[in-house]
Structure 1
Amino acid sequence: MIRLDIIADYACPWCYLGKAMLDRALEAHPQHPFTVEWHPYQIDPSVPPEGMDRLEYMAARFGDVAAITRVHEPLLAMAEKAGVQFNMPAITRTPSTMKAHRLTHWAALEGRQAAMVSALYRAYWREGQDIGDAATLTRIAVQAGMDEALTARLLASDADRDLIAERIAHSRSRGVTSVPTFIVADRHALMGAQQPALWAQVIAEVTQGLSQTEETPDE
């Protein structure tokens, strides 16, 4: 199997779109060679732990409503073509994603990383849930099969906060400045949301490379 490392942030709409298009490609190629591992990132670490009102945050970053609409136009146009749904009106908070990344780390320790990543992206971009809120995250964790009391206790503490910060710093030290970033076999990096057709090509090339490597010459 080949590692596919994905560096992403739940607050990034392009990460959600990129995940959705990758998922589509992997589903269309069930024999793909990838073992997927997700890595944390924060596109705006200045967001306070309690999060911010969504409209106030967007206005501070981009200006008036017209400017916000223009910012989203390319994203929503690509999403529509790809059949990926966003529910922007439902989103009322811009969260700090530190707790969500910590929860993802704990889910990974239990072999639940993929399910947790999907649940968190869906909760925020499709359902408008506040994924910076500990109670919301605990509920999502329980739905994913994690222990309620343990999850709540961990989220109420600073457990693994430094670890997540170190992992984010490590990605930045490797030159990651935008997300999503996809790293294939620890060698080749793809930046941004990629179409399923491109992923199909990558899968074909990687699979062919594996086949050639596994071939043994006749003696």
Structure 2
Amino acid sequence: MEIDFVYDTACPWCYIGRQRLRLALGSRAAVAPVLRFRPFLLSPDMPRAGMERRQYVERKFGGARRAGRILEAAQTAARQVGLDLHFERITRTPNTIDSHLLVFMGETQAQREALLDHLYRAYFVEGRDIGATSELVAIGAAEGLDPARVEERLTSLEGVADVVAENARLHNMGMSGVPGFIFNSRYAISGAQETGVFLRMIDLALETQVPEPVTHAHAG
């Protein structure tokens, strides 16, 4: 089964949605998913150096109080699937293009998954700046990539145009937010759905393994 995961690396609901999908797949042991990671930029106009976290939060959510309520809801949802998010540790909101490039550098599906999971932990649990080249080199090295190769790739800006183009293509397909999940190029849902919804989508996709143009299914 092919599953496209449309995500951003600084999106808490993408982290939660990925975990819920993982739990659903764990209940379908016979399914061998081919995961494709499709980059989406929630803040395409973010400066390359990122932005001070307080400034970003107030601009995006309209003030600290409203932001607190929204982030608390994400923390509650995360705890229900075994994730412990620490937004208070984040001091800088990154430009996420380079972190997407790091995921691209994974040579196998397993390595790409490990890189993405490490990025999410680094940012949402440890509060590390995943827009900083030094942090990305360290994460890549921890998951088996050559540090010199990672640094060269990121400093050369090779691949940036590919991330930007894929983001534009997804927007042109009608995606306005993330996470998004496309099963067998046929059924698409958006949002960090409950695990039960993912199970229904997996079972629906199993009925046909022939890739066809994407249609949106209402799961609920």
Normalising by structure 2, we get a TM-score of 0.88
2:188 corresponds to 1:192: no
> Residue 217 of structure 1 aligns with which residue?
none
Distance 1:111 1:81 in 2: 25
Please tell me whether Structure 1 or Structure 2 has the larger radius of gyration of its CA atoms.
Answer: 1
Distance 2:193 2:135 in 1: 30
Aligned partner of 1:173: which letter? N
2:5 and 2:180 in contact (8 A); partners too: yes
Q: How far 1:108 moved relative to its partner?
A: 4.4
2:135 corresponds to 1:152: no
- RMSD, aligned α-carbons: 1.8
Return the structure number with greater helix share.
1
Aligned partner of 1:17: which letter? I
1:33 and 1:206 in contact (8 A); partners too: no
> Residue 182 of structure 1 aligns with which residue?
181
Q: How far 1:141 moved relative to its partner?
A: 0.3
1:67-118 CA distances to partner (integer Å, 9 max, x unpaired)? 2112224323322333332111111110000000111111146862111111
> Residue 129 of structure 1 aligns with which residue?
128
Distance 2:79 2:148 in 1: 40
Aligned partner of 1:32: which letter? V
Structure 1 unmatched runs, 5+: 211-219
Q: How far 1:34 moved relative to its partner?
A: 2.4
2:187 and 2:205 in contact (8 A); partners too: no
> Residue 100 of structure 1 aligns with which residue?
99
Q: What does residue range 15-34 of structure 1 map to in structure 2 within 5 Å?
A: 15-34=14-33
Distance 1:64 1:177 in 2: 23
Distance 2:21 2:79 in 1: 16
Q: Which deviates further from its counterpart, 47-56 or 80-89? A: 80-89
Structure 1 residues 111 and 67, CA, compared in 2 at 3 Å: closer, same or farther? closer
Distance 2:28 2:62 in 1: 42
Q: How far 1:182 moved relative to its partner?
A: 0.5
> Residue 215 of structure 2 aligns with which residue?
none
Aligned partner of 1:194: which letter? Q
Aligned residues: 209
Q: What does residue range 1-219 of structure 1 map to in structure 2 within 5 Å?
A: 2-108=1-107, 112-209=111-208
Distance 1:41 1:131 in 2: 16
Distance 1:28 1:85 in 2: 22
Structure 2 unmatched runs, 5+: 210-220
| Structure 1 residue matching 2:106: 3-state secondary structure | helix
Percent of pairs with identical residues: 30
| Structure 1 residue matching 2:80: 3-state secondary structure | helix
Q: Which deviates further from its counterpart, 103-112 or 163-172? A: 103-112
